[in-house]
Amino acid sequence: MDKNKEFHTVRGYQLLDQNNRLLTSAMEDYLEMIYRNFLTEKYMRINMLSEMLNVKPSSATKMVQKLTQLGFVKYEKYGIIFLTDQGRELGEFLLNRHNIIEKFLEMIGINDDLLVETELIEHNISSNTLENIKILNEFFERTPEINKRFKEFKNSYLNK
């Protein structure tokens, strides 16, 4: 992914976030899931969404209506959901944020419940902390010898 664009998206959401949070955690989960699907299918159906998120179709419909009011999705007849430009931009940010946190947790050696751990963190992290974690991820990626030293240090620490 284009790095400048990634950072632009992070800042874009920060702007939206200045006066209180725009979306609840649940709304963020919905939008992230719709965006994941958008990358492969270009659209989503209510019943697919409710299955993927393990919720009732009626709950999914309610949430999608809220996201429609906020201008992130277009909900058309036959249960088909499309993302607006704004929805695509925020969805990209949410997926990106998820991936940054997941990569970080993997890097420090979290293997169990990686997805659950990521979900616990992702909704509450500030854009500034996220950006700094992203930099740390890149630092470790670009300096594998330091990554290796960290792993050795951790092993010896745990076996003290």
Name the closest residue to Co ion (Cβ). Answer: 98
* E strands present in 19-140: 44-45, 73-76, 80-83
Rounded to a whole number of angstroms, the minimum distance from the CB of residue 31 to Co ion is 10
The window from 28-36, 44-52, 67-75, 85-93 that contacts Co ion (CB under 5 A) reads 28-36
Q: Decide whether 64 or 93 has the Cβ nearer to Co ion.
A: 93
Q: Dihedral of CA 59/62/66/72: which sign?
A: positive
Residue 97 is a binding residue for Co ion (CB under 5 A): no
Q: Tell me: does residue 98 bind Co ion (CB under 5 A).
A: yes
Alpha-carbon gap, residue 31 to 64, rounded angstroms: 9
Q: Of 31 and 48, which has the nearer Cβ to Co ion?
A: 31
Phi-psi region of 23 (alpha: psi -120 to 50; beta: other; left: phi over 0): beta
Binding site for Co ion (CB under 5 A): 32, 98
